[in-house]
Structure 1
Amino acid sequence: MRLATAADEILPLKDPRVQSNPAYLVVILLARVVSQLGTLDSINPKVIEGLYAADLAYLQDFYNRINASESPKVQVTCPQCGYRHAVEPEQAGGL
């Protein structure tokens, strides 16, 4: 999956399928940004429609995580003093 562009989020709003059913937006959006899915040659709305609900939910969550404008924070408690504070988790791969 690649990062979404403004066009990825705006252009699907003009699609008649989205206009008649706003819930279809996620299908069009994921079809635009998912770059590879298993051994499939291309990703289109029909492919996204055919996913199991759990797989669709995973892709939605991943989309939201990589396209979030702010870094995720995790609440932690210091084991020595008990102070609670928010920290950014370390990115996988050391990024």
Structure 2
Amino acid sequence: MLQTEFSFVLPKGYIDDNGVLQTDGTMRLATAMDEIAPLRDPRVRNNEAYLVVILLSQVITRLGTLPRVTPAMVERFFAGDIAYLQDFYRQINDADARVEQAVCPNCGHEFDVEFPLLGEL
């Protein structure tokens, strides 16, 4: 069965409106629409960097005890947490490259070789 939600722990954490530090959360796999829809948002049209704010607010399904994550909340995340979440997003959404085992013909050393997916350089 395909895993579609993944748990994470923020390195710094988000301080909610009640002063409670929220650190653990869940992120779901992104859909094509998750990546397309923010491009229509005027905030993204005015500032492309805002794309990550919208995108993360869509794919984070849980953060601590909070009922939902909004763009306004993501705006208040610490920069280190944003960097962590962007990396986490890439990890769970990027297709894995094919890895094959190879043997050096000269010394017999075994090692893994990663073959890029179609379309990658």
Percentage identity across aligned positions?
53
Paired residues in the alignment total 84
Q: 1:20 aligns with which of 46, 66, 81?
A: 46
Q: Does 1:71 align with 2:72?
A: no
Higher strand fraction (1 or 2):
2
* TM-score, reference length from structure 1: 0.76
Q: CA deviation at 1:41?
A: 1.4
Closer, same or farther in 2 for the Cα pair 1:84/1:56, shift >3 Å?
same
* TM-score, reference length from structure 2: 0.61
Show the counterpart of 2:17: none
Once residues 98 and 62 of structure 2 are traced to their aligned partners in structure 1, the CA distance between those partners, rounded to angstroms, is 28
Q: CA deviation at 1:6?
A: 0.8
> Structure 1 residue runs of 4+, over 4 Å off?
none
Show the counterpart of 2:65: 39
Show the counterpart of 2:29: 3
After the TM superposition, which residues 54-93 of structure 1 pair with which residues of structure 2 at under 5 Å, given as runs? 54-68=80-94, 70-71=95-96, 81-86=108-113
**CA RMSD, 1 decimal:** 2.4
Once residues 37 and 55 of structure 1 are traced to their aligned partners in structure 2, the CA distance between those partners, rounded to angstroms, is 12
Q: CA deviation at 1:73?
A: 7.3
Show the counterpart of 1:92: none
* Runs of 5+ unmatched residues, structure 2: 1-26, 115-121
Once residues 86 and 30 of structure 2 are traced to their aligned partners in structure 1, the CA distance between those partners, rounded to angstroms, is 12
